Structure 1
């Protein structure tokens, strides 16, 4: 194994692809086969370029000698990239869902879309409560606490109050 790899000198930011048995760096990703700390097996860590932590760490197959890891190859690397990308996509979707809520409320003048977008500002965390008519025109927007709970009932009450700050 390359001494640069053993010392952790390869960080995935190289311009040239690296295709070694325990390290692949290509297409914006680094796959590194590592000793599993919990047992005698091996694991593989998938890290996207520019990230400090791996997006995916999972078990890796033993080689034929039942002692050393199976070498990485193009098919395994491509599968790992696909899996790690999916993990990141699901994480981003969950984060978006946690930071954005919306409800459609029927009113006498038509449907109103009420949204709550949390702004995770380090110095001024807050949320923006907004309303749009059925044509996408903004009716109102107010700054609220980041822990404001948007429910169908709170959205309806806000509309009925004439969009007064809750």
Structure 2
């Protein structure tokens, strides 16, 4: 059942599209689509966040009572799917953040120094920023390095001991 008429959907002042069909639900920035499983005779459900080209989640879907057609989507299933797909995206973002941002703490002359490496994955010219902060969060030094630079405790300690001079990498 579609709650918005085609005329309302084309009206730019209309609320976001809500669609609740047995095999397709759209609501709150998500689309759940029940699809034929290409690997066997079963069914799958794909969860796609609005504006994303690929599904955030694809998983098996339950067969209906006739053991031939899929079970229809409902509000409870859609809510669970949105929660699960959101968690998948959150974990992916955390993993990407961990890959692109490193931090180590070393001893400096006046206390702890936090050294961070932030990789900027530019398609054409990727680079990284190596930055040193004092114990109060004040920036002591920063320099651009290769995105392949390996931040380690010993490399950070050597950079700090050398007065934050140019590092290789």
1:64 corresponding residue in structure 2? 65
Alignment check: 8 A CA contact 1:131 1:141 kept: yes
Structure 1 residue 112, shift from structure 2 partner: 0.3
- 1:119 is matched with 120
In 2, Cα distance between equivalents of 1:37 and 1:124:
39
What are the Cα deviations for residues 23-78 of structure 1, in whole angstroms up to 9, with x where unaligned? 00001000000000000000000000001100000000000000000000000000
2:53 is the alignment partner of 1:52 = yes
Could you list the runs of 5+ residues in structure 2 that have no partner in the other structure?
3-14
Separation (CA, whole Å) in 2 of partners of 1:111 and 1:49: 44
**Aligned-partner SS, 1:54:** coil
Deviation, 1:122, is: 2.2
Instruction: Provide the aligned C-alpha RMSD in A.
Output: 1.3
TM-score by length of 2: 0.89
Aligned pairs for 1:69-84 within 5 A = 69-84=70-85
**Displacement after TM superposition at 1:165 (Å):** 1.4
* 2:12 corresponding residue in structure 1: none
Q: Distance in 2 between matches of 1:138 and 1:155?
A: 15
Aligned counterparts of 1:153 and 1:106: Cα–Cα separation in 2 = 11
1:93 corresponds to: 94
SS of aligned partner of 1:85: helix
Task: Tell me what 2:129 maps to.
Answer: 128
Residue 108 of structure 1, CA deviation: 2.8
Distance in 2, Cα, partners of 1:23 & 1:73: 10
Matching residue of 1:152: 153
The 2-side partners of 1:73 and 1:154 are apart by: 55
**In 2: Cα distance, 1:110 partner to 1:142 partner:** 21
Aligned residue number for residue 7 of structure 1: none
Q: Which runs of 5+ in 1 are unaligned?
A: 3-13
Matched length: 154
Q: Which moved more, 1:101-110 or 1:45-54?
A: 101-110
1:112-145 Cα offsets, whole Å, 9 max, x none, are 0000000112232110000000011100000000
Following TM superposition, where does structure 1 have runs of at least 4 consecutive aligned residues deviating by more than 6 angstroms?
none
> What TM-score comes out, normalization by structure 1 length?
0.90
